[in-house]
Amino acid sequence: MTTERKFVATAAIAVAFASGVLLSRTIDRRMTLTADPSDQTAAAPAQSRTAATAAVLPDLSGIAERGIQASVNISSTEQMQVDPFIQYFYGVDPTRTSRGSGVIVSADGYILTNSHVVGNPGSEIHVTTGDNREVPAKVVGVDTISDLAVIKADLKNSTPLPWGDSDRLKAAEWVLAIGNPFRFNQTVTLGVVSAPKRRDPQLDTYTDFVQIDAAINPGNSGGALVNARGELVGINTMIYGPTGGFQGIGFAIPANVARRVMDLLIKEGEVTRGSIGSMSLQAITAAQARENNLGDRAGMFVARLSPSAPAARAGLRGADVIVGFNGQPVTEQSQFARLIADAPVGSVAKLEVMRAGRPVTLDVTVTRLIPPAVRR
């Protein structure tokens, strides 16, 4: 996102005073001597409630400091293909720069971030550390499907964040989001996990997300999501809302997914995924299937199918309902996409289909999924 806005937060504290008139020293003394003992005992629960509240709210300053030390700001400059005529007469700049965040994940300088922050593998990358060192970095690998990328910089004596288990995250668990929103370096925001595994057709993505209410804004992309134990549990990625700014609904890629993708990018430079071809699908329930004489099982209704798709060559037709893939029930589009993507390229997958209410099994050869272009 290129548009920047400056937000100024103001806080006002209202204090109410209660005033009284002392009629005489005698009355004041008597009130002191004859005070109801219950007044003192009533104060005890209030104090204990205050102590209980303080115990629930943790001091995360030390964890935030370690998170800042492991976080970097990223500047990526990409050379664009611009027609020389347009560039000469209209003064179009052939370079495009984006800024975002990243997190150091190894002592030898590997950094994890979003692919939309890095851009193309040929982009020129610079990172700025928490102690204001600016160093160049090289792109190790970019995976546009998961929106993850790995870069490497010469960062001696860097202290990476330890990995956390994102599968163990719970709703209302405290988390910190660390990043570079609107170029405000090493910003830390506090919130909770709103949903540990957000799967929703509105998101239309390969993986489930960690939904959080910690404030993230343009520039936070690629930054660390840290739990109260100081562990990396996610990579902040996306904002959901009409304005493109903070709405209390943000999303992070789970650390377990990010770690698997990172390992493949470091070892192989890419992530290979399976495909059975291009098709348009609609999730239907068992009740909807019965109402439309499509069988009695929930699945994915095939609304449109490319004739050249491997699934079409295997016999899949429009109006079929896909109910299983390699023995796994299929009920959601994102889940189905993951099952296909995780299938080995070249393998033969079993596709279970309901056709006009009757079960059909198709053998589909899994081909390599071609990643989409980098999104900015």
Check pLDDT > 80 for residue 119.
Answer: yes
Which ranges constitute the DSSP H helices of 1-126? 25-33, 37-56, 61-69, 84-90, 115-118
Q: What is the mean pLDDT of residues 154-174?
A: 93
Answer whether residue 121 shows pLDDT above 50.
Answer: yes
Q: Which residue has the tokens 């330890």?
A: 162
Q: What does the alpha-carbon distance between residue 83 and residue 100 come to, in Å, rounded to a whole number?
A: 28
| Residue 10: predicted pLDDT | 28
- For the chain, percent of residues with pLDDT exceeding 70: 77
Which stretch of 2-11, 64-73, 246-255, 319-328 has the lowest confidence by average pLDDT?
Answer: 2-11
Give the C-alpha separation, 348 to 195, whole Å: 35
Contact criterion met (CB below 8 Å) for 283 and 336:
no
Question: Strands, E, within 45-168: which ranges?
Answer: 71-79, 95-104, 110-113, 124-129, 134-143, 148-153
User: Going from the N-terminus, what domains does the chain have, and what CATH number goes with each?
Assistant: 59-271 (2.40.10.120), 274-368 (2.30.42.10)
Q: Which of 185-194, 199-208, 209-218 has the lowest mean pLDDT?
A: 199-208
Q: One of 98, 115, 116, 194 is an active-site residue; which one?
A: 116
C-beta separation of 323 from 354 below 8 A? yes
pLDDT value, residue 12:
30
pLDDT (0 to 100) of residue 84: 66
11 or 92, which is more confident: 92
What's the CA gap between 215 and 241, in Å, rounded?
13
Residues 6+ apart with CB under 8 A from 163: 105, 231, 232, 255, 259
Confidence (pLDDT) at 375: 55
pLDDT band at residue 371, thresholds of 50, 70 and 90? Answer: confident
284-301 tens-digit pLDDT: 999 999 999 999 999 999
pLDDT for 373 beyond 80: no
Least confident of 34-38, 166-170, 242-246, 296-300: 34-38
Asked whether 180 and 141 are in contact (CB, 8 A), the reply is: no
pLDDT band at residue 90 using 50, 70 and 90 as cut-offs: low
In our burial notation (b when 16+ CB lie closer than 10 A, e otherwise), range 298-337 reads: bbbbbeebeeebbbbebebeeebbbbbbbeeebbbebbbb
pLDDT for residue 74 is more than 60: yes
Which one, of 276, 272, 192, lies nearest residue 234 by Cα? 192
**Distance in angstroms (rounded) separating the CA atoms of residues 350 and 193:** 37
The answer, yes or no, to whether residue 270 has pLDDT greater than 60, is yes
Greatest alpha-carbon pair distance for the chain in Å reads 101
Instruction: Identify which has the larger pLDDT, 80 or 338.
Output: 338
pLDDT of 41 higher than 60 = no
Strand, helix or coil for residue 211: strand
- Mean pLDDT score of the chain, rounded to an integer? 83
User: Per-residue confidence at 208, pLDDT binned at 50, 70, 90?
Assistant: confident
- What per-residue confidence (pLDDT) applies to 127? 97
Point out the catalytic residue in the list 147, 208, 213, 320: 147
Q: Evaluate whether 69 touches 130 at the Cβ level (below 8 Å).
A: yes
The pLDDT score that the predictor gives to residue 58 is 80
What integer pLDDT is reported at residue 54 of this predicted model? 52
Tell me the mean pLDDT in the region 75-96. Answer: 67
Provide the CB-side half-sphere exposure for 126 (13 A, CA).
9
247 or 269: which leads in pLDDT: 269
Q: Is 179 helix (H, G, I), strand (E, B) or coil?
A: strand
Which stretch of 240-244, 258-262, 307-311 has the lowest confidence by average pLDDT?
240-244
* pLDDT given at position 83: 62
**pLDDT score for 78:** 81
Catalytic residue, chosen from 101, 123, 221, 275, is: 221
Nearest to 101 by CA among 77, 75, 124, 139: 75
For residue 202, the model assigns a pLDDT of 59
What percentage of the chain exceeds 90 in pLDDT?
Answer: 65
Q: Tell me how far the alpha carbon of residue 51 is from its chain's centroid.
A: 34
Q: Does 221 qualify as catalytic in the annotation? A: yes
Evaluate if residue 339 carries a pLDDT over 80: yes
Report the pLDDT averaged over residues 350-372. Answer: 94
**What is the arithmetic mean of pLDDT over 97-109?**
93
Assessment of whether the complete model's pTM goes beyond 0.85: no
Residue 124 has pLDDT above 60, yes or no: yes
State the pLDDT at residue 8.
28
- In the block, tokens 């990243």 appear at 102
| Strands of 144-184, DSSP E | 148-153, 174-179
pLDDT at 80 (0 to 100): 64
Q: Who has greater pLDDT, 21 or 155? A: 155
What residues contact 65, with CB distance under 8 A and at least 6 apart?
A: none
